[in-house]
Structures are given as C-alpha cells and as structure tokens.
Structure 1
Amino acid sequence: MRTHDWIGLLAGTLTTIAFIPQVIKIWRSKKADDISISMFLIFTAGVALWMVFGIQTGSLPVTLANAVTMVLALVILILKYHYRK
C-alpha cells in the first residue's frame, strides 16, 4: 500500500471512531433527545455517497471508512427512533 493509502486509512479510522462515544452514550443513557434527526439523515446520505464514490474510484480507505461510519450513523438513528418519547 502507498503512503497516501495509509494516511487515508488512519484519517478514516479516527473520524469513524469519533462516533463510538456518542453511540455508547445514547445506549447507556437510553436518551437521544439532543441528537438532530435532520442532521443525521443528511449526514448519513452524504456518507453513503462518499462510500459509493470510494467504490467507484477503487479507494479502499474511502470505502471502508464510510461504510463503518454509515453503520454507526445508522445505529444512532435507530437508537434515536427507539428511545423517542
């Protein structure tokens, strides 16, 4: 793998794992009132498009990072729906 691929994988890893504390917080507190549904729907759509872009351009770092980020964003959306009042 080339240097820029490693940089891309590291960047993708860091930006993706940034969502894990939010998922854990919602899971433990059973509350997602402060999460903006509009923001996460728009964000998830953008991440899905980045994933498609990564697939079409053959960029493993872009594809992997956005696939995992999309899963985490979807988990947040599901928890937001599940814990609604």
Structure 2
Amino acid sequence: MFSSRKIINLFYDVASPYSWLAFEVCNVFRLWNVNLKFKPTYLGGVIYGSGNKPPGLNPSKLLYMDSDLTLLSEYFGVPMFRPSSLPKGASQ
C-alpha cells in the first residue's frame, strides 16, 4: 500500500546540544505527515574528517552557538542551560 507520509532522516550526535533540542521538539512532527528515521552519527569524526575544529574551540562560533541556542530554547520553550565549566580552550 502506498503511504503519502514523507520520511525525514534525522542525523544526530548525543554530544550535540542541537541534537538534544531536536529530540525535545520532534513531537511536532507527529502533527505533520512525516516519519522520522533516527540516524546516529559521530559528529567528531565528521568535524575531524573535514579538517574543522569543534565549535567550542572557536571563540566566534562559541559566541554564535550560545546566542543561537538561547533563542531556540526560548522559541521552542525547552529549557537549556550552559555548563558551569567549558572545555579547556573553549572560553575567550
């Protein structure tokens, strides 16, 4: 039988605050005509393989990520808290 539901592949890494936020708000997809397929991904390997640094080690990216996650947290009504201590080299 044919299904008109769309499939969305959700690639996630449990270490990513964006992945956690996505898990918290994925209930909204039940209201839409979509199925989620969860695909665990090792983001550290992707970052290393592409020659990038983790966003927490780049002061500009860290500031943007902090601001972005705060806005997303407020928009979706999901409480998010900054860790009391950041990894070495992550602070300005």
Structure holding more strand per residue: 2
Larger Rg: 2
TM range (shorter): 0.3 to 0.5
Structure holding more helix per residue: 1
TM-score (norm 1): 0.34
